[in-house]
Amino acid sequence: MYVRHTYREDIAGPAWLYRLFAGQTLAYVGVSSNPRARFTKHRYSKPWWSTVTRVEFRWHPSRESAFAAERAAIAHENPLHNVARPKAVTH
pLDDT digits (tens, 9 = 90+) for 11-60: 678 999 999 999 999 999 999 999 999 999 999 999 999 999 999 999 99
Could you give the CA distance from residue 11 to residue 55 in angstroms, rounded to a whole number?
23
Split into its structural domains, the chain has a count of: 1
Question: How many Cβ atoms from other residues are within 10 Å of residue 82's Cβ?
Answer: 19
Cβ(66)–Cβ(72) below 8 Å: no
Does some domain include residue 88? no
Could you give the CA distance from residue 50 to residue 55 in angstroms, rounded to a whole number?
13
Domain span at 32: 9-77
Does some domain include residue 58? yes
Could you give the CA distance from residue 45 to residue 37 in angstroms, rounded to a whole number?
13
Whether the full predicted model's pTM is greater than 0.85, yes or no, is: no
